[in-house]
């Protein structure tokens, strides 16, 4: 007779948490390394001209760096070290991917629209005409969305990926979401003109997106919600997390005061943005409760 094989023990809570930290550390280290390489190559790419980090091509390069870095960390830490499946990571609910992405997009669009539209009667914001035709608007809107889409996906891979799945196993779903959302907010301290309220609102947005991650569609739903929020603000000519987007045909004046409308940071910097994001969190909370009931 052969001796029975010993039962494999599940990894300890400390080990699981350690993998989550390693995922974030590896992704960040790779991103810094690739950014340094791009920085060294920049004089060749720009003929010595200074880099404008808000220029579209540099935003595309930064996005590619984030996706490559945290995609690599997902494979090394998530798939190989932690032995997570694509189903565990909520990357492979393909039967719900399209629908989930659409639901997420609608949630993000609705929340952003609420924040901007409330600023009209309550903050004295206004839209007024700008140069350009409808064709110019549609062309720039398409280009802007194509730039924002991979950027939103990159942040979802980084913050609603391996680390959230692993930390949720250690401390529970919503505690993990809140912890990573605080980190998500702090990372945006490097954006132009942040305020404490702006950083708090971005952390709230992380909770909104972290909850959307647990709807059918998984990461695709969270990606849709992220893109819906960002693209709606940009296409209404409002800044997105402090980054301005030039849109033909219309101009948006945020009015004031800044604590209410967000001012130059965009609706994410104001109390009306807080209200819209909290409303989105409430909807996602209700929908996720239905999923787990």
Residue 5 confidence class, pLDDT cut points 50, 70, 90:
very low
Closest CA to 100 of 114, 89, 110, 90: 90
Determine the pLDDT at residue 32. 94
What confidence score (pLDDT) does residue 1 get? 46
Judge whether residue 260 has pLDDT over 50.
Answer: yes
pLDDT of residue 42: 67
Query: How large is the average pLDDT for residues 130-145?
Result: 94
Q: DSSP string covering 45-110, please?
A: HHTTPPP-TTSHHHHHHHHHHHHHHHHHHIIIIIIIIS---TTTTT---HHHHHHHHHHHHHHHHH
Q: For 263-287, how does the pLDDT look when each residue is reduced to its tens digit (9 = 90+)? A: 999 999 999 999 999 999 999 999 9
pLDDT of residue 39: 79
User: What would the DSSP string read from start to end of the chain?
Assistant: -PPPPPPPPPPPHHHHHHHHHHHHHHHHHHHHHHHHHHHHHHHHHHTTPPP-TTSHHHHHHHHHHHHHHHHHHIIIIIIIIS---TTTTT---HHHHHHHHHHHHHHHHHHHHHHHHHHHHHH--EEEE-SS-HHHHHHHHHHHHHHHHHHHHHHHHHHSSHHHHHHHHHH-HHHHHHHHHHHHHHHGGGSSS--HHHHHHHHHHHHHHHHHTTSTTTHHHHHHHHHHHHHHHHHTT--BTTB----SSEEEE--S-HHHH-GGG-GGGSHHHHHHHHHHHHHHHHHHHHHH-
Average pLDDT, the chain: 90
Give percent above pLDDT 90 in the chain.
76
pLDDT digits (tens, 9 = 90+) for 23-51: 999 999 999 999 888 878 766 666 555 55
Q: What is the pLDDT of residues 225-245, one digit of tens each?
A: 999 999 999 999 999 999 998
The highest-confidence range among 56-70, 92-106, 176-190, by mean pLDDT, is 176-190
pLDDT at 46: 60
Q: Is the pLDDT of residue 251 over 50?
A: yes
Mean predicted confidence (pLDDT) in 15-25: 94
Q: With 90 as the cut, is the pLDDT of residue 201 above it?
A: yes
Is the pLDDT at 7 greater than 50? The verdict is no
pLDDT of residue 95: 73
The pLDDT score that the predictor gives to residue 143 is 94
Q: What percentage of residues in the chain have a pLDDT greater than 70? A: 89
User: Is residue 105 over pLDDT 90?
Assistant: yes
pTM over 0.85: yes
- Mean pLDDT (whole number) for 242-263: 93
For 65-80, the pLDDT digits (tens) are: 999 999 999 999 999 9
Give the pLDDT confidence score for residue 291 in this predicted structure. Answer: 60
Token pair for 206: 């992380």
């Amino acid at each position: 007779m052969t001796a029975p094989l010993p039962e494999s023990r599940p990894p300890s809570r400390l080990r699981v948490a350690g993998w989550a930290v390693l995922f974030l550390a590896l992704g960040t280290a790779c991103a810094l390394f690739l950014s340094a390489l791009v920085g060294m190559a920049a004089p060749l790419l720009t003929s010595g001209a200074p880099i404008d980090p808000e220029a579209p091509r540099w935003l595309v390069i930064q996005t590619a760096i984030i996706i490559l870095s945290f995609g690599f960390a997902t494979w090394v830490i998530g798939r190989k070290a932690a032995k997570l499946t694509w189903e565990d990571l909520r990357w492979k609910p393909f039967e719900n991917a399209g629908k989930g992405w659409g639901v997420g997009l609608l949630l993000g669009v609705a929340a952003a629209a609420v924040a901007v539209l409330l600023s009209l009667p309550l903050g004295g914001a206004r839209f007024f005409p700008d140069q350009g035709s409808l064709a110019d608007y549609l062309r720039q809107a398409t280009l802007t969305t194509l730039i924002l889409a991979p950027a939103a996906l990159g942040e979802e891979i980084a913050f609603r990926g391996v680390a959230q799945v692993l930390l949720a196993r250690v401390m529970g779903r919503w505690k993990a979401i809140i912890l990573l959302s605080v980190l998500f907010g702090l990372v945006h301290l490097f954006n132009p003109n942040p305020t404490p309220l702006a950083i708090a609102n971005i952390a709230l947005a992380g909770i909104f997106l972290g909850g959307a991650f647990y709807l059918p569609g998984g990461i695709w739903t969270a990606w849709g919600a992220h893109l819906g929020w960002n693209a709606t603000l940009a296409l209404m000519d409002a800044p997105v997390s402090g980054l301005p987007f030039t849109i033909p045909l219309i101009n948006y004046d945020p009015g004031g005061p800044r604590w209410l409308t967000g001012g130059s940071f965009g609706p994410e910097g104001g109390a009306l943005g807080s209200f819209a994001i909290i409303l989105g969190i409430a909807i996602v909370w209700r929908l996720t409760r239905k999923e787990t009931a």
